[in-house]
Amino acid sequence: MVIDILTLFPEMFSPLEYSIIKRARDKDIIKINLYNIRDFTLDKHNRVDDYPYGGGSGMVMMADPIYRAMEHICRDKIKKPRTILMTPGGEKFNQGTAKELAKEEELIFICGHYEGIDERIMTLIDCQVSIGDYVITGGELAAMVVIDSVSRMVPGVLSSKESYEEESFFDGLLEYPQYTRPEIYRDMKVPEVLLSGHHENVNKWRRYQSLKKTYRLRPDLIDYGKLSDKDKKMLLDIENEEQDI
């Protein structure tokens, strides 16, 4: 996958040079290209923003540098890559969106800043994405969140399929509790079932705990229509258990 990023602050993306994303880049599974929007302005002072028409506080990013940057990126491409604008008004990002975007061969991210971007760039945008109902300084941090999540879904990025299929949100539920050595720590013991070596019982325990954790912390994530009959029975037991507490 090729990821092109249009930003005013390329240096902010240094976290993508570490950990899993770095390994994926080293293996050429993920290629990330950073484009400084200031490099595409015709203004001698490299200005990329101006006062908003109609008045108001703050500055607005100009359309022209972004158009020029997009033309540069797409000049030799047969088809324009799917282009994403990171904006508070976009569709809220979730695991389903990550799966969808991971199917693309190339993505372009445009990171907004200041009070917004000239509305005329919307002709370039295929989808608008938000990471939550709050305001941050610019689209850079939000883009990194989306890029990290999407990259994990690209085949070959993680060491095994199970690495992401059993993580929180992959199947709509939170992940079950995890334990490692030592077996007993400060009088807290690892559940016996995890030491039993009985894989069927371990899987059943994990599914139960996943449902229980989701029921307690994020009941809004539970889609009863997608639950199996076994899941529904477990959930009924969990509901009864919670009522008895």
DSSP-derived 3-state class of residue 143: helix
Fold classification of 2-152 is Alpha/beta knot (3.40.1280)
pLDDT one-digit tens code per residue, 90-147: 999 999 999 999 999 999 999 988 778 999 999 999 999 999 999 898 999 999 999 9
Is 131 flagged in the annotation as binding?
yes
Fold classification of 166-244 is Trp Operon Repressor; Chain A (1.10.1270)
Pairwise CA distance, residues 229 & 231, whole Å: 5
Is 133 flagged in the annotation as binding?
yes
Within 8 A by CB and 6+ apart from 159, the residues are none
Structural contact between residues 62 and 41, judged by C-beta atoms closer than 8 angstroms: yes
Taking 70 as the threshold, does the pLDDT of residue 164 lie above it?
no
Pairwise CA distance, residues 12 & 84, whole Å: 18
Nearest residue to 8 via CA among 44, 47, 59? 47
**Residue 229 one-letter amino acid:** D
Tell me what pLDDT residue 57 has.
83
Pairwise CA distance, residues 188 & 151, whole Å: 36
CB atoms within 10 A of CB 212: 21
Is 110 flagged in the annotation as binding?
no
Query: Which residue is listed with tokens 């807290």?
Result: 188
Tell me what pLDDT residue 115 has.
78
Taking 70 as the threshold, does the pLDDT of residue 169 lie above it?
no
How is residue 137 written in tokens? Answer: 């300084």
Tell me what pLDDT residue 244 has.
78
Per-residue pLDDT band for 160 (boundaries 50, 70, 90) equals low
Query: Domain-by-domain residue ranges, the chain?
Result: 2-152, 166-244
Is 154 flagged in the annotation as binding?
no
Q: Is the peptide bond before 182 cis (omega within 30 degrees of 0)?
A: yes
Structural contact between residues 68 and 94, judged by C-beta atoms closer than 8 angstroms: no
Tell me what pLDDT residue 162 has.
46
Per-residue pLDDT band for 89 (boundaries 50, 70, 90) equals confident
Q: What is the pTM of this model?
A: 0.86
Taking 50 as the threshold, does the pLDDT of residue 242 lie above it?
yes
Sign of the alpha-carbon dihedral angle for 47, 49, 53, 57: negative
Is 118 flagged in the annotation as binding?
no
Per-residue pLDDT band for 161 (boundaries 50, 70, 90) equals low
Class of residue 14 by CB neighbours under 10 A (exposed 0-12, middle 13-18, buried 19+): exposed
Class of residue 86 by CB neighbours under 10 A (exposed 0-12, middle 13-18, buried 19+): buried
Lowest mean pLDDT among 15-19, 36-40, 54-58, 213-217: 54-58
**Residue 59 one-letter amino acid:** M
Mean pLDDT calculated for residue range 86-90: 90
